[in-house]
């Protein structure tokens, strides 16, 4: 039986080479798209799977209200929770970010990225496999350092690193262990040190939210109790104490400062794809993008399956006689179904193989696009591939097979069946579906394109194209601010440098620091602080709307004058905020000016309330400077940069390399992921349109070729080509319009939802809808008319004589 | 072998009721060669289709091998058809996409005959019908007579109890038509039961009995006496 089936299958392939190839190609593109999405999906879901402790580990997050959920914590609650309750096996504070610093060994300097610091309990939370040393003794003292295998090889080459001394952060550390990194982990450091413990010690009574905090619970069921206790700790140790210090009752205090912070627990297993602030230094995956990729690839697969079904049912008419004969000589319905499912299975098999080839060839591009390192292996992946394989067969094979097996034998054999209307509604319905999906894609990619362009062209409120943001690493025993003042003088002497200033912030980066702003009896406003040197606003082209900038001539301006941005000014709720007295971070300031709002983080977010004051306003800040901004002339930029580089390396920092970024480029990174989405959408758009065009062409060909006799008769009766063309293409235009009308609803809703990501966004314009309509109609007419024209040129005699 | 009593077939549309067959009674015995004649629309093809289980009757009884066929489910009909009936059509109804061998082999496949046996039976049948040298060809490459031989071979391969022929010579010239009729006569002589619909008196004269139909009823029956030199094939 298989041989018989195969013979007839091969016969049809031979006689329909063109359509078979297109069909397989379409299906394989659809499957390839899904494979890409699955690889991405698996990669993101593979994080922390290796960790045997993952089900017991939770990250503590703090809900400040109003959608502000921080993943950082004060050093207090972890310790207190451990002391007062019995839920914890352990807790661990860590820095939720990596640093990039130099490590010296034997006078050789290596610049190492992904340096991480956590408390000693870290290795029981992330039990990396130790190649040398062991987890217990790794952090035997505060000068311990543990390296990943790669880092150890880089620094020590062939030497045994254990017990060796290295210089890092102006201190001597002893290497006590070497570990192997797991494949995917929320923490994948090159170096781990316990230096954070000193900071924690120093700030152990401080309620500043600066550290990541992991808890390892004894029982998963204790989460609710743990949250209750964390909330209680905050209320008792923070709010009640503060209220007492200010002489307020708790109720009054809450009224003024808002509700106390609510704790939340984020399980480690969900940390990677958590949408919000990242809790671990490897940061979060882009869940939304992942969902978009997955959704779109499924849509494309559906599109190609629809094509396949259309082709199969259209083709079936040609094979009606075969089916009829088979039935008469004894084939049962299930045998007919089996035969056609068998054919689909072979087609799907070819398509899957071709899809694998497509994926294998284009994986490097995909990887560089996602900045990942995906590979086509893994038991999980092959299992999923088999599932996809059977799902495709099920959807695209069974349906046409059942349809075919239901042919009425007698009608088929009596002839005329090939011109019957059988199944025409299914195919037309499918065609409408394809038009809808195409509409969705065209409109979607157009709107994404517009929004991304809008972001790229938007006036951000600052001008960063000439401004270099140079990273400025501290040196032991020297005050950063004093160093900066000396460097500034030198930099200004370099030709092409137009201005030098500094701020304890970096536009477009994740660096931000917040404190409470108080004005009279108003409720506390959590405000982003932007300490800076004189001239910084001017350097960045940030406008002042009212009042004045900080002035070096006025002694008070470096101590107690501040500017607010428009958002912050609004929170004072007074007509003229200039000259008002405010309290910020426990210090009194006078508002001297209002700064025009500018975007600091991505355009997804509204501009936060901001306060600007001089770095020296808070004593402790002068040592925390990490950036210097330099404005250079647009002429001869490379020469100027080279000169700064030379100066920097010889006079400022011999160890750490000269690192800078232009402020506008820095900011552009915040919308890079949306540029990626735009490019992806554009690419998929091309694929979708190709598949849809092919589907339309195939279907139009089939249905027109079935009407050849009719056309021949009409021509004999004197029909003109124009009339015939109109007659033949009319229905496709109608389907195109119906499909478009169905497609615009989901397109509108989905794009509305996508645009909700952005605080600064476009309204959905009409143009994409018009463009989608016109381009779809144009494509439809081109294809259908071309085919129809070809059909009207048939040899009349041949078809009249036939049958 | 076949007993038909008071069999009727009514086609209904919204306004019209057409009786294609009205209360026909007919018996065909084992080894009979019966032909049905009549003008277009007399119901002869409808009768053949009902006998061949391709169509169902509105009322009456149709017994095939003493088993009632009226009211059977599609699956049971299909089973009965597969086991008992071989078809020969005017337009041959060969599958153009399959070779002669594959075409003849099909019924055996659907009857779950093992591959080796299928091969030997097809070869044997082809030899008998003189198309052994054509097995690798496709139907379109054969003459009309040869195509009909292939169709006959396919009809016979499963050793059916009765052969139904629907104008088997209708698409053939007289020489090829004659060949096919002789083939049927041979089959009859070797014991096959045959029911044939035809327009041609000449073709009908090959059968033992001719039934004339008109307007869905049997008009008359005639027994033919014709002496044909029959070469009884000892292999069959």
Q: How would DSSP label each residue in A770-800?
A: HHHHHHHHHHHHHHHHHHHHHHHT--HHHHH
Query: Which of chain B's residues have a Cβ under 8 Å away from the Cβ of A333?
Result: 74-75, 78
A324–B97 C-beta distance less than 8 A = no
Average pLDDT, integer, range A505-513: 85
Q: Indicate the average pLDDT of chain B.
A: 86
A327–B107 C-beta distance less than 8 A = no
Return the closest-CA partner of residue B37 out of B204, B171, B233: B204
Burial of B200 (0-12, 13-18, 19+ CB in 10 A): middle
Sort strands A525-532 and A610-614 into parallel, antiparallel or unpaired. Answer: parallel
Residue A411 near chain B (CB below 8 Å):
no
- Cβ–Cβ < 8 Å for A161, A175: yes
Question: Is the confidence at residue A801, as pLDDT, over 50?
Answer: no
Q: What is the pTM of this model?
A: 0.78
Return the closest-CA partner of residue A628 out of A494, A493, A488, A496: A488
Whole-complex ipTM: 0.70
A335–B95 C-beta distance less than 8 A = no
Give the distance from residue A774's alpha carbon to the nearest chain B alpha carbon, in angstroms.
43
pLDDT at residue B234, rounded to an integer = 44
Query: Which of chain A's residues have a Cβ under 8 Å away from the Cβ of B73?
Result: none
Element (H, E) at A588: strand A587-595
Give the distance from residue B21's alpha carbon to the nearest chain A alpha carbon, in angstroms.
17
pLDDT in tens, A538-581: 999 999 999 999 999 998 898 899 999 999 999 888 989 999 99
B105–A4 C-beta distance less than 8 A = yes
Residue A327 near chain B (CB below 8 Å):
yes
For residue A336, the chain B residue with the least C-alpha distance is B110
Residue B55 near chain A (CB below 8 Å):
yes
pLDDT at residue B17, rounded to an integer = 81
**Cα–Cα distances in Å, from A271 out to A59, A210, A380?**
8, 18, 21
Please list the pLDDT of chain B residue by residue as tens digits (236 residues).
Answer: 899 999 999 887 777 788 889 899 999 999 999 999 988 888 888 898 889 888 888 899 999 988 898 888 877 887 888 888 888 888 888 887 788 998 898 888 878 889 999 999 999 999 988 899 999 999 888 988 899 889 999 888 988 889 999 888 888 888 888 888 988 998 898 888 999 999 888 899 889 999 999 988 998 888 887 655 455 444 44
Residue B89 near chain A (CB below 8 Å):
yes
- Cβ–Cβ < 8 Å for A173, A166: yes
Return the closest-CA partner of residue A173 out of A195, A202, A149, A158: A195
Percent of chain B scoring above 70 in pLDDT: 95
A328–B81 C-beta distance less than 8 A = yes
pLDDT at residue A718, rounded to an integer = 65
Average pLDDT, integer, range A324-334: 83
Query: Which of chain B's residues have a Cβ under 8 Å away from the Cβ of A409?
Result: 54
Q: Indicate the average pLDDT of chain A.
A: 88
Tell me the two tokens of residue A267. 């399980």
**Considering CB atoms only, which of A4, A327, A409 is closest to B102?**
A4
Give the distance from residue A340's alpha carbon to the nearest chain B alpha carbon, in angstroms.
15
Residue B202 near chain A (CB below 8 Å):
no
For residue B155, the chain A residue with the least C-alpha distance is A329
pLDDT in tens, A702-747: 778 777 777 777 776 667 778 788 888 888 999 999 999 999 999 9
pLDDT at residue A802, rounded to an integer = 43
For residue A323, the chain B residue with the least C-alpha distance is B95
The percent of chain B in helix, strand and coil, each rounded to the nearest 5, is 35, 25, 40
Q: Where are the beta strands (DSSP E) in chain B?
A: 2-12, 17-28, 33-37, 59-64, 67-68, 85-88, 162-166, 193-197, 209-214, 217-223
pLDDT at residue A421, rounded to an integer = 57
Give the distance from residue A681's alpha carbon to the nearest chain B alpha carbon, in angstroms.
44
Please report the DSSP string for A219-262 in residue order: -GGGHHHHHHHHHHHHIIIIIIHHHHHTT--HHHHHHHH-SPPE
Query: Which of chain B's residues have a Cβ under 8 Å away from the Cβ of A319?
Result: 97
Element (H, E) at A108: strand A108-117
Residue A546's SS3 state is strand
């Amino acid at each position: 039986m298989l041989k018989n089936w195969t013979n007839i299958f091969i016969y049809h392939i031979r006689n329909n080479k063109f359509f078979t190839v297109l069909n397989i190609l379409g299906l394989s593109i659809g499957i390839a798209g899904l494979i890409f999405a699955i690889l991405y999906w698996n990669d993101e879901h593979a994080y922390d799977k290796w960790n045997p402790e993952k089900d017991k580990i939770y990250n503590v997050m703090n809900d400040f209200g109003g959608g502000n959920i921080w993943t950082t914590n004060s050093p207090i609650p972890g310790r207190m929770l451990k002391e007062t309750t019995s839920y914890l096996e352990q807790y661990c504070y860590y820095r939720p970010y990596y640093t990039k610093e130099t490590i010296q060994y034997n006078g050789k300097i290596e610049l190492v990225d992904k340096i991480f610091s956590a408390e000693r309990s870290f290795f029981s939370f992330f039990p990396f496999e130790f190649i040398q040393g062991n987890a217990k003794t790794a952090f035997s003292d505060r000068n311990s350092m543990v390296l990943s295998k790669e880092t150890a090889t880089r620094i020590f080459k062939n030497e045994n690193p254990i017990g060796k001394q290295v210089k890092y952060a102006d201190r001597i550390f002893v290497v006590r262990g070497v570990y192997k990194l797991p494949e995917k982990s929320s923490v994948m450091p090159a170096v781990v040190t316990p230096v954070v413990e000193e900071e924690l010690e120093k700030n152990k009574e401080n309620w500043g939210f600066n550290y990541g905090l992991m808890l390892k619970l004894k029982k998963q069921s204790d989460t609710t109790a743990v949250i209750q206790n964390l909330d209680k700790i905050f209320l008792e140790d923070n709010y009640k104490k503060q209220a007492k210090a200010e002489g307020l009752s708790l109720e009054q205090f809450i009224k003024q400062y808002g509700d106390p912070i609510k704790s939340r627990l984020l399980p480690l297993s969900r940390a990677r794809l958590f949408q919000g602030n990242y809790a671990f230094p490897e940061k979060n995956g882009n869940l939304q993008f992942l969902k978009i990729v997955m959704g779109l690839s499924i849509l494309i697969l559906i599109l190609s399956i629809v094509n396949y079904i259309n082709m199969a049912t259209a083709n079936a008419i040609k094979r009606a006689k075969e089916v009829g004969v088979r039935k008469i000589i004894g084939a049962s319905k299930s045998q007919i179904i089996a035969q056609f499912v068998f054919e689909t299975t072979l087609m799907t098999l070819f398509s899957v193989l071709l899809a694998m080839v497509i994926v294998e060839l284009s994986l490097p591009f995909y990887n560089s696009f996602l900045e990942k390192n995906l590979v086509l292996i893994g038991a999980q992946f092959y299992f999923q591939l088999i599932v996809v394989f059977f799902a495709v067969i099920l959807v695209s094979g069974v349906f046409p097979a059942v349809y075919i097996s239901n042919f009425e034998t007698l009608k088929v054999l009596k002839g005329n069946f090939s011109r019957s209307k059988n199944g025409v509604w299914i195919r037309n319905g499918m065609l409408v579906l394809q038009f809808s999906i195409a509409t969705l894609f065209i409109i979607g990619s157009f709107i994404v394109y517009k929004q991304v362009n809008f972001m790229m062209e938007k006036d951000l409120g600052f001008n960063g194209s000439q401004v270099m943001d140079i990273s400025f690493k501290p040196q032991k025993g020297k005050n950063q601010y004093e160093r900066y003042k000396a460097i500034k003088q030198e930099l200004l002497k370099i030709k092409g440098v137009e201005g030098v200033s500094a701020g304890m912030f970096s536009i477009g980066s994740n660096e931000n620091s917040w404190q409470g702003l108080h004005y009279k009896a108003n409720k506390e406003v959590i405000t982003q602080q932007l300490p800076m040197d004189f001239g910084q606003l001017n350097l960045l082209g940030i406008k002042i709307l009212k009042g004045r900038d900080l002035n070096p001539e006025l002694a008070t301006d470096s101590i107690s004058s501040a500017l607010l941005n428009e958002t912050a000014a609004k929170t004072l709720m007074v007509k003229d905020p200039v000259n008002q007295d405010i309290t910020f971070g426990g210090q009194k300031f006078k508002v001297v000016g209002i700064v025009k709002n500018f975007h600091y983080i991505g355009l997804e977010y509204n501009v936060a309330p901001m306060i600007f004051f001089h770095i020296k306003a808070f004593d402790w800040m002068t040592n925390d400077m990490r950036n210097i901004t330099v404005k250079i002339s647009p002429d001869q930029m490379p020469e100027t940069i080279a000169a700064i580089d030379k100066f920097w390396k010889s006079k400022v920092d011999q160890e750490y390399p000269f690192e800078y970024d232009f402020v506008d480029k820095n900011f552009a990174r915040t919308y890079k992921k949306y540029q990626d989405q735009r490019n992806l959408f554009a690419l998929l758009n091309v694929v979708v349109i190709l598949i849809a065009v092919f589907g339309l062409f195939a279907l139009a060909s089939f249905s027109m070729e079935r009407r050849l006799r009719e056309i021949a008769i009409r021509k004999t009766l004197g029909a003109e080509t124009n009339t015939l063309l109109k007659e033949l293409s009319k229905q496709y235009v109608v389907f195109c319009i119906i499909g478009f009308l169905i497609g615009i609803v989901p397109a509108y809703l989905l794009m509305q939802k996508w645009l909700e990501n952005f605080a600064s966004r476009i309204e959905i314009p009409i143009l994409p809808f018009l463009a989608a309509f016109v381009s779809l109609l144009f494509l439809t007419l081109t294809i259908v008319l071309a085919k129809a024209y070809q059909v009207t040129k048939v040899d009349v005699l041949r078809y009249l004589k036939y049958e | 072998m076949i007993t038909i009593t008071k069999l009727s077939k009514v086609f209904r549309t919204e306004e019209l009721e057409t009786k294609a067959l009205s209360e026909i009674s007919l018996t065909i015995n084992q080894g009979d060669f019966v032909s049905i004649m009549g003008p277009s629309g007399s119901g002869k093809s409808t009768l053949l289709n009902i006998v061949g289980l391709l169509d169902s009757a509105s009322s009456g009884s149709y017994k095939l091998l003493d088993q009632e066929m009226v009211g059977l489910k599609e699956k049971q009909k299909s089973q009965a058809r597969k086991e008992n009936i071989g078809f020969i059509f005017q337009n041959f109804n060969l599958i153009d996409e399959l070779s002669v061998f594959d075409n003849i082999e099909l019924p055996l496949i659907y009857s779950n005959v093992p591959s080796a046996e299928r091969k030997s039976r097809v070869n044997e049948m082809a030899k008998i019908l003189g198309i052994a040298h054509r097995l690798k060809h496709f139907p379109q490459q054969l003459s009309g007579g040869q195509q009909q031989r292939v169709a006959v071979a396919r009809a016979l391969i499963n050793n059916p109890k009765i052969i139904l022929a629907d104008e088997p010579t209708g698409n053939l010239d007289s020489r090829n038509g004659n060949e096919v009729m002789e083939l049927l006569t041979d089959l009859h002589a070797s014991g096959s039961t045959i029911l044939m619909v035809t327009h041609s008196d000449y073709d009908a004269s090959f059968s033992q009995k001719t039934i004339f139909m008109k307007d869905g009823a049997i008009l008359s029956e005639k027994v033919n006496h014709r002496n044909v030199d029959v070469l009884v094939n000892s292999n069959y």
